[in-house]
A and B are shown apart, each in its own frame.
Chain A
Amino acid sequence: MGPSTPSRHHSHERRGFSPQRFINSFVSRPRPLHILLLAMFLLIGLAITTTVRTQAADPLAGLNEDQLVALLGDLEQREDALRNERSALQGQLTELKEAADASQAARDAVALATSQAEVAAGTVPVEGPGIIMRVSAQQEMIPVSVFVTTLAELRNAGAESISINDVRLNARAWFGTDSQGGIVASGAPLSPPYEWRAIGDGSTLSVALEIRGGAVSQFKAYGAMVTTEVSNLLQIKAVTEPFEPVWAKPAID
């Protein structure tokens, strides 16, 4: 750079901006001083690039101590706020989980109580180990008291569900006779052969039935043929209608 030699002879070109002067300076004869100029501009380019790159890579590098302290304080404040929010949310989560657990436990308890009540009331089909007793007899031969005794013995022996000829015998079951002298169980007429099904401990039930003077011997005493069969898996498909109490209500403590 610098005033080029040719332009020195033309005083009108030594000042101001003109394309001719610009071009002249570009093609001026190299001098030793130009090496120094080259080195200087190289240095400037290098410095600009490095500074810009450093700044872009780490914007914090250009900040002074006060700004950094302020920034740090700001960050700490935000961190505190976020921590508080996090702990609050975790507390909420715990509460919700506890509530969910409690309601799940309540649902489980209700489901258990419901299934127990359904089995006890005989409103659902049941299965399990038990005993089948088949009684073949003439209809008129057996008095109703024998049926009542048999049902009581099965209950005493721990039978949980009992049926006779597709009539489920729950806690409200009763036996009686119709006008022709036929046996009626909970209102449904029965006709031989009678098939008792009882779910419970099969060996206990069979012992209870076959005890001397028990159900089997009473049936036999009236001339019936009785066979008992202990089964590991027995189904009772007969169900009763759910019972709606009219008078009794749960007592409140």
Chain B
Amino acid sequence: MIAAIGLILGVVAGLIFEPVIPLGLQPFLPVAVVAALDALFGAFRAWLEGVFSDRVFIASFFWNVLIACFLVFLGVQLGVGGAMTTAVIVVLGIRIFSNSASIRRLIFKA
């Protein structure tokens, strides 16, 4: 419930205040969003498996976002910005897919 309320509030706030992303942060936000989604799927899977822990979720959430942003930053510094962003997105996408497959199995038993 907390999650649903938080998400809705966040979306509404984003629509109302229309925050502008600083130019320096623009490459990071999409990656951070995907990393957060990955953490969310992981948490839901853990909850379904009965091994969910608040601390693990919070830690993994921030850690994922931080590492993703750091990798993108590193890519920009190394001059392979676009490629590194793609790599991070691909890896996170694979994780989201495998997590969602586990979730599907746990919910539908198939």
Q: Interface residues, chain A, CB within 8 Å of chain B?
A: 1-3, 14-17, 25-27, 33-34, 36-51, 53-54, 61-62, 64-66
Q: Give 12 pairs: A residue, B residue, CB < 8 Å, sorted on A.
A: A1-B43, A1-B54, A15-B49, A15-B50, A34-B2, A37-B3, A40-B6, A41-B10, A44-B7, A45-B6, A47-B32, A53-B14
Q: Interface residues, chain B, CB within 8 Å of chain A?
A: 1-15, 18-19, 21, 26, 29-30, 32-33, 36-37, 40, 43, 47-50, 52-54, 57-58, 61, 81-82, 85, 106-107
Main secondary structure of the interface of B (DSSP, over half): helix
Q: Which B residues are in CB contact (< 8 Å) with A36?
A: 58
Complex contact B29–A45 (CB within 8 A): no
Given contacts A47-B32, A50-B19, contact A1 B47 (CB under 8 A): yes
Nearest residue, chain B, Cβ from A36: B58
Q: Which A residues are in CB contact (< 8 Å) with B26?
A: 54, 61
B4 to chain A, nearest CB (A): 8
Q: Which B residues are in CB contact (< 8 Å) with A61?
A: 26
Main secondary structure of the interface of A (DSSP, over half): helix
Complex contact A37–B58 (CB within 8 A): yes
Given contacts A51-B30, A53-B14, contact A45 B54 (CB under 8 A): no
Complex-state Cα separation, A210 to B6, whole angstroms: 119
Complex contact A44–B10 (CB within 8 A): yes
Complex-state Cα separation, A36 to B58, whole angstroms: 8
Q: Which A residues are in CB contact (< 8 Å) with B33?
A: 44, 47-48, 51
Nearest residue, chain A, Cβ from B37: A44
Closest 5 CB pairs of A and B: A45-B10, A41-B6, A49-B14, A64-B82, A15-B50
Complex contact B29–A47 (CB within 8 A): yes
Q: Which B residues are in CB contact (< 8 Å) with A50?
A: 14, 19, 21, 29
Nearest residue, chain B, Cβ from A35: B2
B48 to chain A, nearest CB (A): 6
